[in-house]
Structures are given as C-alpha cells and as structure tokens.
Amino acid sequence: MSGAVLVSNLISGVLLGGDLALTALGLSLVLGVMRVVNLAHGEFLIGGAYLGMFMLQLFGIDPLVGLLLIGLILAVLAYPIQKFLLSPLIEKGVEAPMMTAFGLSVILQNVYTILFSGDTRSIERSYATEPLVIGSVTVAQIYVIGFAISVVIIVLVHLLVSRTGFGRDLRAAATDPTAAGIMGVDVKRVYALTFALGAACAGVGGTLIGLAFSFTPTSGSGYLLTNFAIMVLGGLGNIFGTLIGGMLLGFLQSLGGVTLGDGYRELVGLVIFLGVLAVKPQGLLSRGRI
Amino acid sequence: MNHTHQGTSVFARSAALASSIFGILAVAGAALTAPATAASAADEVVIGAPLPLNGPLAGFGSFDQWGYQHAVDEVNKAGGVTIDGKKRMVKLIIRDDKTDPNVSASNVETLISRDHVTALLGSCTPMLVNAGALVAERHKVPMVTGCDPLGAFTSVRKWNWVWDIFFDERELASLAFKTMKDLGIKTDNKMAIMADNGPDGLIVGGKVWPMLAKENGYEVVANGSFPVDNTQFTSIVAQAKNAGADVVMSDFVTPPAVALRKQMKEGGYSPKLMVIEKGAEPVQFAEALGPLAEGILVGGYWDPSFPYPGAADLEKQFEKDTGKSGSQHIADSYAAAKVLLDAIEAAGSTDPAKINAAIAKTDKTYVVGPVKFSPEHTSKLELVEDQWQNGKSVVVWPANRATGKFEFPIPN
Amino acid sequence: MNTWRPTILWMAAALVVIVLVPLSTGEYGIEIGFRLLLYIVLGEAWNLMAGYGGLVSLGTASSVGIGAYVLVGMLNHISPSLPLALTASAVAAAILAAIVSPAVFRLRGLYFTVGTLALGEALRLFMINFNYFGGATGLFLRDDPPSPTGLYIYAAVVFALATIVISIYTRSRLSIALRAVRDDEAAAAQIGVRAFRVKLAAFTVASALMAVAGALQGLHLGTIEPYGTFGLQWSIDAVTIVVVGGMGQRAGAIVGAIVVVALAELLADYPELHVAINGLILIIVIRFAPAGLTGLAKRWWQYRKAAATPFAPAAGNAS
C-alpha cells in the first residue's frame, strides 16, 4: 500500500470521526446532564436523515441549507418526549428511563418501516459524492463539509454551555440536580432543553450521514454504539473532548481498516472502547466542564 | 435511592404474590389458547409463513408477503383447493419474525402447534429460512421456500420435509465472468473483489471469484470480506483505485451496496465494470443512487420479460396493488406458494406425508420457469445478467433473454 | 403468617403449576412453556445482578451466545451428553465473566451498562469476522435435538435449579452484602464487605445461568449464528422482563417473563404494528408501575389491608 493511500485513509477517518462526534455530543449531553442512556438516539439520527431526504424530494430544499431547520424540528419533537415520558422517571434509577427510551426506539423503527418502507435510502446530492483531490491525497468532499459543520456546531454548543445563563443552569443541574434546584434552577426545564439539544445534534448529524452513506429504518443502532465509543473516549460531558474522541476513534478505526481490512473497523472501535473503559473509565480526556 | 428491607414480612406477603401469579397464568393461558380454537374450527386449509416485516430485512419481507398472499388469493378466487373431493378455502397466516432467527423459529412452532397449519412457506435469507425450516423438518410439516441460495440450504442437513426453489450461488458467481467472456469485454484484467462474510458472500467472494479470476486471466489486486451490516469501505476503495482495477466484483445486501457505490465516487474511483450481486437487484438501489446506479451489473433470476406463464402479469398486478415497482422476490415467493398449493390440490388431502410426496413430484413450468426438485430437495432457477440503465433494470445476457444492449464502460 | 412454611409451600405450589400446566395443554403449551421457562431463567439471573446488586447489564447476549456456541461445539465434537454440554456452557460463561470482571467492575453505574453493551456487541462482531466458529454462517447441530417435551423437561430442571440457587443466594449473607454494595459501595467496604468478591459472585452465577438458557435455545433451534445468538434482543429482553415484573422482587422475573412471552406471542398475529405496540406497553408499564407489576400487585394488596391499619408504607421502591 502506497503512502498516499494510507494518508488519504487516515485523513478520511479523522474527518468522518469528527463528523460522527456531532451525534455523539448529543448522546453525551443527555447522559452527562440527565444520566439517561438514550437508546433511541440512533432513531433520532435516522429521523434526521429521513427529514433531510424528504425536504429535498418534496420541497427541493438542499439538506445543507435546511440543516438548522432539521435540528429545530427534531428538538421540537424531542421536547415533549422528555417532558412527558422521561422526566417523571429520572429519579427512579437508570433502568426506567433507559427502557422507556428503548421502547421509543422500537416504536420509531416500526413507524419508519410503515411510513417509509424498509427500503434502503440515501440523500442524493452531487456534491456529496465528489472526491476532493489535494496532490496525491483523495478524500470525500462530503467528509470535509460534514467535519466543518460538525466543528462549527460543537463550538456553538460549547459557547452555549460556557457563556450563557442556560449553560450555567445546565452545568449546575449536571453537577448536582438537588443543589441546583435549591438554588432556583428549573432542573426539569434544563433537562427538557438538553434532551431537545441532544436530539437536534443527532438529527443534523443524521442528515450528514444520509448524504455520505445509506440508511434504513433500523440502521440507527449501529451508529449508537460508535457514539458511545466516541463519548467514552472523549470523556462524558466533555464537549471538545467528544470532538477529539471522534477524530481519534476515526483515526484508529481507519488504521484498523487499513491493516486488518475494512471488516474489522467496527470491532477495532469496540475493542478500543472496551480497553479505554477498563483502563480509564472516565475517558481518555479528563471530565469536562459540564 | 432508599431501600427498605422488610425482613421476613416479605415472605409473608409473597403468599399474595403467588396467588396473583396464578391469576396471570390463568389469564395468559386463556388468551394464548383462544386463537387456536378459532383457527382450527373453520373449514379452511391453513398455511403459515414467518416473514421479516420489521428489522433490517423488512425490504424483502414486503415483497414475499405480497407474493404469498397473491397466490393464495388467486386459488381462493378459483374456489379453493380440493380436499377429499370437497372444495375448501385456503387461509394464509403470516407472522413477523423481525429479522430475528430466534423469532422465526418460534413463529413456525406457533404456526404448527397452535394454528395446526397444513403446510408452511419459508422466510427470506438463509439465516431466517434455515431457522424456521429446521422446526418444520422436526415436526414433519412440509415447507416450500424461496430466498435461500441452494448451497446454503443444502449445507444445513439432509432435508425430508423442506423444499427450496432458488438459484445456486456458485452459478451466480460465475455469471459475470461468463457475461464478460461472451460479450468480449476488454479491460486491464485487474480486479477488486469485495463481499460480505454471510454464508453466500464467503463462498462467492472468498473462493469462487478468486478461482475464476485466475482461470480467466484476471489479477486480483484487492480482496476484502466485511460484516453484513458494514457500510465503511474507504480503505479497500483507495486500495483498488491505487492499483487501477478496471473491474469490481462485489456481493452485498442493499444498504452496504449503496454506501459502497457512493464511496467509490467520493474516493474518485471509477472502474469500467462493476458487479454488485444481491444488493443491486431491488429498484430501491437505483432510487437511492440516481445516476450513480448507471451501468451496475447484477445477477437476476427473474424478470417480467421471461417467457413463462404469467410473468408480465405478475409484475403488473404488483404495481397495481401496491403502486410500487416490483422485485424478483415477488416471483420466487409467488412460485413457492403456487407449488405448495398445487401439491395440496394434487394430494387431495391435508395429510402432511401425502402433500410432501406431491411436492416431490412437482414438474411444471411456473412464473419463474420449470420447477422440478432434485434429490437434495432443490429446484434451480436460471440466471441472467441485469444492468441498470436510466433507472431501469435491463437484461443484457444471455442473448436469448436480453431486453437491451450491454453498456460499457460505466459512464463517469 | 410470619413463618417460612406457608411461603415455601406457596412457592413450591407455584413452581409445580408453572411446570405442569404447559405439559397438560399439549404441544402449544409446551412450546410456550419452554420459552417462558427460558425467559424466567434469564430474568432471574438479570434480577440477581441488577435488582440485588445494582449491576444493570446490557450484556446478557454475550452469555447467551457463549452458552449456545459451547453447547453446539460440545455436542458436535466432544460428547453427545447433554448434561455435560450444559455444564460446560455454564462454566465457560462463568469463566468469561470472571475474566472480564476486573475491567467491568471498575465501571460504576452507567459506565457498567454501556460497557456490558459494548462487550456483547464486540463478541458478536468477533464471531461474525472470525471464521473458525462458522463465521456469519454459524454452526449446525449435527444430531436432532430432543423432542419438545424432552426440551421442556430440561428447561424445567434448569428453571428449578435456577430458582433454588437464587433462593438460597437471596437469603444468604452474601445477598445482604450484595445489597449493601448496591446501596453504597464505599460504606459497605468500611464495614468489611469485600465489594469485588460479592459482585463477582453475583456476576458469575448470573452469567452461568444465562449461558444455560442460551445453550437450551441453541439446542432448541438446531442452528446458531452470531446475529441471532449474540443479538442485542437478548439483552433487551432480560431488562424488559425484570423492569416489567419488578426489580429486586422475588417474583419479578416470573411475572415479567409471562407478560413478555404472552405479548410477543399474541401481537405477532398483527404483524404491522406489533413491534410498536410492544414498545408502547413497555413505556406505559414503566411509567405507571415503577416497581413493576409485582410492585403494583403489592400496593394493591396493601391498599386493601390499609382499611384495617391506619397507615401502610409504600412498598416496592426497590430501584
């Protein structure tokens, strides 16, 4: 294998990992702030991909143009889910909200299958399938676009959490919900907004995935695990850590893909994930500011 | 989180629990046995099928469901099947196996033990068909299935009660080589092979293609094997591109097939000829890819243009019923159900052994072509090479089946 | 009422009913009964870890899968003896649990849950990619499995063994230690509880039981492959059974398994929406019966008794 192929591969991996970090951030926020394992996160992601596809097919809106709208729609849809389904369960341990989210995920998969059939879909844009050639290095243009969007949104989320009143409430609720409540923070509102923000991240990331790859009503669960791995690598609730975790995972998966074959990508990711969990459960990067 | 330890009083209370368990058991028992009496009371011949209507293979399941149901509806419209000299209606019970072989097996058990089905139709893909077929075999209930490549089917065991109408995966593997040779395609004789590591993918990509490549003078510059649900191909695409392979041979289900085609374009790799077995067959492949589907080759076992009774009508009826384009899966499922219903009619009985014997004697041309079972319980379908041209599937080989001209190379 | 005897009698009677009723209802009852027993064993094992030990695992699939693969390997290549193969399945899963325990026990709470999920998926991907154990094609049992009745009797024996093991366990001092660790690991350590050993005991016992359930399922199917055997569905089913039945409740797994099996069985007749309905029922039960159906029944019982006593404490808050 030539050097150019290796370099192209590793750069692709890093870009794609950064792209996936956006969806992982959604998962990480919900887990870090609310302590909810959102097993429906993958279905939110696929929901974003379907939205992007139908916006293009029905209204001719380019998914990249409609990206913020997609995020907004998912946030609006997720808000009541948190408010009416998860919120009453949060004090009752890990299992109740986790299994409610699981119930939601099977309902969403079933509903997607009925509404959109089990067919394989993809968002068809010419810019999403063009290569970007710099010297002897070739990477997919959509990876670069996705990476850029992901970085911008991650920075925005960071500013939201570190510079705004909502961010202060969020950090307080994450650290100690009881104390935050006493201090006058509306913890339930913070939770609902965090959940909506998490869903928005998943939806936007899902649209980017729909542009670069293919999806079906059930392909969300595969991304869920990758997201967990990124989250753990980056440190739970560490916003920039998630981005770095994503890039690192992408790099290592590509290295695994190049040396062992593409088939081992996912396995390499999971083994790294388990290894990090075993050695440093709090993540390779130290816990963030949330 | 506080935990109250109630000591021995817990045990005192479990008396109450036990009585509630009895209650639940009684209710559950009553609920579970109720449909059994309803199903067996009617004067109908009941046949059952597990199908993947949810989960990753839901795309196949919907076609099979239509094929099975359409065959049963046709027979019922004509008055049903003759059992002991009396016409009886046929009832088809379909249970969703959610693309889980465990559920597929338990669905077949329920169909046999609760609904007392006379015979069974199969699910789809080796993983699901085999799980259900083993249950049918053990309970000695005849089952006719499609959607299980013959090599994968016969490798399970020596079958006595299960019959498979499908193609042979080894033949599918040699199809593209025959096409290239026959049409005199000129390439740089460099080939990249990629396949999933499912039962058929391992045989095709791991053994048959490398062997045929050698025989036909191709140099294999890249060969990769992938989990069935993998959609990441950047490494192998870069490798194939770097080696300048003109020919890509691949074998994947639809989601990775679409992802692979996109990633080849994203990676700036444009081979002259590309085969994607399995996954490139359904129309959703072309719909998801648009212009990128142009020129892709895939082996097919059925096309509405085939000169068999009812072929063109079957496709038309499907489009009329569902408003969607058909798939070859409507044909093998429809044919499997027809073979079974004909056998029940020929047996003139609901006796499983008699029906099984009648299936064995099948020798008739159906919508998929002539069906006649080998001693291994298989009936082989002939294969043609299809190519996507302007969003339509066109048969390009062999000449006597062709509906269009072979397009070469793939437009860039 | 405050003696053990009525309890034991009731429990024994319940066991006899659970085992004998299906046998008397013909083939269908036996098939359903087999599934039920398998699910009860899975639920009991999961309940032991989570309900009593606070170890909320999403890795049931790894034990189930190992159990099934070891059983098929034993029967095909080593010995046709079923009890030996089932024992080997249990031992193999217990050994794996012991091997991974130093790593997974470092994980607290949610990390443990996510870690066990990753473990199950990693094993599935490994089995798919690694061709020595049949790869994605899987393995076939060379000889036909026992008859449905024979299988049922095996399941009943396993179920009885699991009930006995867990009954002894939950009444032993180990169980008190386990609960102490669940409630506050640091405090438990201070009073001399060796948290690691206590958790290890629960983890290995539960893994062994799950593996036997998996082995029985592999025997029952006659064909195993990674997608179904190491499928996430097993992990989810185990949690569902206990959450629906009641976490940390002695009867939780039994009630939960009955509901889960009955629902899956009845709803499969309505293929279009059954998955969604299943999800909906799960959400509703979790929302309105936070201590599971057993907890709900207990509350109802206490509510009736409350007429006699001035105040009845709310029971079933064993999360």
112-171 of C, contacting B, C-beta below 8 A:
125, 128-129, 131, 135-138, 140, 144-145
Which residues from B are below 8 Å from C297, CB to CB?
16-17, 20
pLDDT band at A276 (very low <50, low <70, confident <90, very high): confident
pLDDT(B374) > 90 = yes
Which residues from A are below 8 Å from C283, CB to CB?
85, 100, 103-104, 107
Tell which wins on pLDDT, B17 or B344.
B344
Specify the pLDDT at position C7: 61
Does residue B339 contact residue B365 with C-beta atoms inside 8 Å? Answer: no
- Mean pLDDT computed over B64-79: 97
Specify the pLDDT at position B28: 52
Question: For the range B316-319, what are the long-range contacts, defined as Cβ-Cβ under 8 Å and sequence gap of 24 or more?
Answer: B317/B70, B318/B66, B318/B70
Exposed/middle/buried for B79, CB within 10 Å: 0-12, 13-18, 19+?
exposed
298-317 of C, contacting B, C-beta below 8 A:
298, 301, 313, 315, 317
Which residues from C are below 8 Å from A95, CB to CB?
50, 56, 239, 242-243, 247, 319
Specify the pLDDT at position C264: 87
Specify the pLDDT at position B61: 92
Structure tokens at B21: 């368990």
Specify the pLDDT at position A267: 85
pLDDT(C278) > 90 = no
Structure tokens at B220: 């294999």
User: What's this model's pTM, rounded to 2 decimal places?
Assistant: 0.89
Nearest chain C CA: its distance from B292 CA (Å) = 30
Among chain C residues, CA nearest to B35: C266
A87 part of contact set with chain C, CB < 8 Å:
no
Specify the pLDDT at position B26: 54
**Contact call for C275 and B36, based on CB within 8 A:** no
- Mean pLDDT computed over B379-393: 96
pLDDT band at C5 (very low <50, low <70, confident <90, very high): low
pLDDT band at C314 (very low <50, low <70, confident <90, very high): very low
B352 part of contact set with chain C, CB < 8 Å:
no
C158 part of contact set with chain A, CB < 8 Å:
no
Among chain C residues, CA nearest to B5: C318
pLDDT digits (tens, 9 = 90+) for B278-337: 999 999 999 999 999 999 999 999 999 999 999 999 999 999 999 988 899 999 999 999
pLDDT(B258) > 90 = yes
**Nearest Cα to B168, choosing from B383, B361, B350, B12?**
B383
Judged by DSSP in three states, C38 sits in helix
B30 part of contact set with chain C, CB < 8 Å:
no
pLDDT(C110) > 60 = yes
d(CA B322, CA B284): 15
**Contact call for C56 and A94, based on CB within 8 A:** yes
Q: Worst-scoring range by mean pLDDT, C25-34, C101-110, C250-259?
A: C101-110
Does residue B400 contact residue B317 with C-beta atoms inside 8 Å? Answer: no
Nearest chain B CA: its distance from A216 CA (Å) = 7
147-166 of A, contacting C, C-beta below 8 A:
none
**Contact call for B18 and C14, based on CB within 8 A:** yes
pLDDT(C147) > 60 = yes
**Contact call for B199 and C298, based on CB within 8 A:** no
pLDDT(B24) > 50 = no
- Give me the phi and psi of B145, to 5 degrees please: -135, 160
pLDDT band at B36 (very low <50, low <70, confident <90, very high): very low
A99 part of contact set with chain C, CB < 8 Å:
yes
pLDDT(B10) > 60 = no
C263 part of contact set with chain A, CB < 8 Å:
no
Beta strands in B279-409 (DSSP E): 297-300, 363-366, 369-372, 378-380, 384-389, 392-397
Tell which wins on pLDDT, C178 or C287.
C287
Specify the pLDDT at position C1: 40
pLDDT(A47) > 60 = yes
**Contact call for B267 and A110, based on CB within 8 A:** no
- Mean pLDDT computed over C120-138: 86
d(CA B132, CA B120): 9
170-229 of A, contacting C, C-beta below 8 A:
221, 225, 228-229
Q: Average pLDDT, whole number, for chain B?
A: 89
Characterise B189 by phi-psi region: left (phi > 0), alpha (psi -120 to 50), beta (else): left
pLDDT band at A233 (very low <50, low <70, confident <90, very high): confident
Q: How far is CA C52 from the centre of its chain?
A: 13
A60 part of contact set with chain B, CB < 8 Å:
no
pLDDT(B37) > 80 = no
Look at the alpha carbons of A246, A251, A252, A256 in this order and tell me if their dihedral is positive or negative: positive
Q: Which subunits sit against B, judged by 3+ Cβ pairs under 8 A? A: A, C
- Mean pLDDT computed over B14-29: 47
pLDDT digits (tens, 9 = 90+) for A97-145: 988 999 999 999 999 999 998 899 999 999 998 999 988 888 999 999 9
A118 part of contact set with chain C, CB < 8 Å:
no
**Contact call for A124 and B290, based on CB within 8 A:** yes
Please state whether beta strands B119-121 and B44-51 pair in parallel, antiparallel, or not at all (unpaired): parallel
Q: Average pLDDT, whole number, for chain A?
A: 90
Inter-helix orientation angle B101-113/C195-221, to 10°: 50
pLDDT digits (tens, 9 = 90+) for C223-254: 999 999 999 899 999 999 999 999 888 888 99
Exposed/middle/buried for B89, CB within 10 Å: 0-12, 13-18, 19+?
middle
pLDDT(B208) > 90 = yes
pLDDT digits (tens, 9 = 90+) for A181-198: 999 999 999 999 999 999
Specify the pLDDT at position A225: 86
* A-B contacts at Cβ under 8 angstroms: 146
pLDDT(B29) > 70 = no
Specify the pLDDT at position C310: 55
pLDDT(A1) > 70 = no
pLDDT digits (tens, 9 = 90+) for B191-203: 999 999 887 888 8
A9 part of contact set with chain B, CB < 8 Å:
yes
Does residue B279 contact residue B254 with C-beta atoms inside 8 Å? Answer: yes
**Contact call for B16 and C265, based on CB within 8 A:** no
B54 part of contact set with chain C, CB < 8 Å:
yes
Alpha helices in B193-310 (DSSP H): 199-201, 209-215, 234-243, 254-266, 283-289
Angstrom distances, CA of residue B47 to CA of A55, B39, B119, B208, C90:
43, 11, 5, 38, 39
Among chain B residues, CA nearest to A257: B235
pLDDT band at B1 (very low <50, low <70, confident <90, very high): very low
Does residue C205 contact residue C48 with C-beta atoms inside 8 Å? Answer: yes
**Nearest Cα to B200, choosing from B254, B137, B151?**
B151
- Mean pLDDT computed over C122-151: 87
Structure tokens at B146: 């499609």
Q: Worst-scoring range by mean pLDDT, A254-268, B23-37, B323-337, B348-362?
A: B23-37
Structure tokens at B238: 């870069």
**Contact call for B235 and A214, based on CB within 8 A:** no
pLDDT(B33) > 80 = no
pLDDT band at A285 (very low <50, low <70, confident <90, very high): low
The interface pTM score, or ipTM, of the predicted complex is 0.89
pLDDT digits (tens, 9 = 90+) for A48-81: 999 999 999 999 999 999 999 999 999 999 999 9
